[in-house]
Structure 1
Amino acid sequence: MAVRLIGYGLSTLRDPRPAEAGALLAAGCHAVFLDITHRTSSPRPARDAAFRYVRPGDCIVIVRFSRFASGLRNLHDLLHQLDDARVGLRSLEEPIDTTAPDGDLVIRAVDATLQLQAAWIAEVTTEGQAAARARGQRLGSPPKLTPEQADLARQMHAAGHPAPSIAAMLKVATSTIYRLVRQPSAPDTAEDSAP
């Protein structure tokens, strides 16, 4: 039984490509799904429809990967989704065909690239954090309240004011006040504790 070829293309409003559908039909696709969008990161209802349409043994044909996936992580996920469904993927402009005898190399190469990218980002992030700490920079989100506001919130809560009203007065979330009153207050400074 011949492999069914299902075409998928993407046209942006800035770069309409009616020729893309023609190229997919010329490649022998018996059905073509085409998304038309204003940017490549937009939802892809036609691609989703193509994924629902295919059956095991089919092959999705694309013009090139940049019009199929919105990035490396998305490409990784789509390749694995197709592989799990036993559906191939072939690009017309790139020498990539997962139905070829060595087609699993494409998936393994994307997996390895994604792992390398994640390791690289983690290493750069760790080095950047270490350098920031060495310069004395505080990491993480800035505190929601100044030390004075935090002291005021603790005093008001101890005096019986409800957390939601304290939060409204200080323009923070109620959960911020609850977290604050559960934490021990900062130790008194020598100046504060001096007789």
Structure 2
Amino acid sequence: MRIGYARVSSQGQSLDAQIAALTAQGCEKLFEEKRSGASRAGRAALREALDFCREGDVLIVTRLDRLARSMFDLQEIAQGLERKGVDLVVLDQRIDTTTPAGRLTFHLLGAVAEFERDLIAARRSEGIARAMARGVKFGRRAKLTPAQARQLRADHAQGVPRRTLMARHGISKSTFYRLIAEAPSP
């Protein structure tokens, strides 16, 4: 049986092109999902597709990055398919594990893809470090200034009700308790 797996990373993206390509390849069963590929744990349709595959089946994906995001993940999937006697076809990279050359290409492309992601992550980290050295701040801005936080703690110590203080400062209960627990700034 020819089994197709299609994935896009976000809800706003369309699976149509992948589904059309998989259908054109004769896939009798399709598994689809709109979810980040960063972790296989959260990709239920991939787990279902891998569980569904039986000996002699062919799992077909349009691109290698639709299947796995790390070399470890890719090797784990490939080993699981191999144990079950299932072949893998990746359309865009023209990988077909029914041939020795296809198996070699499959492993080489996976290694190159992981290397590329590592380079991107290193460049991103370097860029963040340079930006921080220039004084760029990352993350969410503080809800209250230090002076407002001190006033919140003082009002709370004076017995002003929590709900009143939360409404006055426009903060949530968790933010209120976090700010109350913080040691006052010198």
TM-score (norm: length of structure 2): 0.64
Of 52, 69, 72, the residue aligned with 2:66 is: 69
Rg comparison, structure with higher value: 1
Distance 1:171 1:108, change over 3 A: farther
Partner in structure 1 of residue 34 of structure 2: 42
Which letter does structure 1 place at the counterpart of 2:153?
R
Deviation at 1:33, TM superposition (A): 1.6
Is 1:52 the counterpart of 2:51? The answer is yes
Partner in structure 2 of residue 184 of structure 1: 183
Is 1:81 the counterpart of 2:77? The answer is yes
1:15 and 1:150 map into 2 onto residues whose CA distance is 52
Partner in structure 2 of residue 169 of structure 1: 168
Distance 1:182 1:92, change over 3 A: closer
Deviation at 1:174, TM superposition (A): 1.7
Q: Give aligned-pair identity as a percent.
A: 29
Partner in structure 2 of residue 101 of structure 1: 100
1:157 and 1:99 map into 2 onto residues whose CA distance is 70
Of 28, 31, 41, the residue aligned with 1:32 is: 28
Deviation at 1:9, TM superposition (A): 6.5
1:112 and 1:13 map into 2 onto residues whose CA distance is 25
Partner in structure 2 of residue 130 of structure 1: 129
2:78 and 2:60 map into 1 onto residues whose CA distance is 12
Partner in structure 1 of residue 40 of structure 2: none
CA contact (8 A) 1:33 1:47 kept: no
Deviation at 1:18, TM superposition (A): 5.7
Q: Root-mean-square deviation (CA), in Å?
A: 3.9
CA contact (8 A) 2:74 2:110 kept: no
How many residues are aligned here?
Answer: 168
Deviations 1:79-137 (A, max 9, x none): 6335324332023554312343351652453145224413x233223322332233223
2:180 and 2:49 map into 1 onto residues whose CA distance is 54
Which letter does structure 1 place at the counterpart of 2:106?
V
Partner in structure 2 of residue 153 of structure 1: 152
CA contact (8 A) 1:65 1:91 kept: yes
2:76 and 2:87 map into 1 onto residues whose CA distance is 10
SS in 2 for 1:124: helix
Partner in structure 1 of residue 117 of structure 2: 117
Distance 1:121 1:94, change over 3 A: closer
Unaligned runs of 5+ in 1: 26-30, 188-195
TM-score (norm: length of structure 1): 0.62
Which letter does structure 2 place at the counterpart of 1:73?
R
CA contact (8 A) 1:35 1:46 kept: yes
Distance 1:121 1:176, change over 3 A: farther
Larger mean Cα displacement after TM superposition, 73-82 or 166-175:
73-82
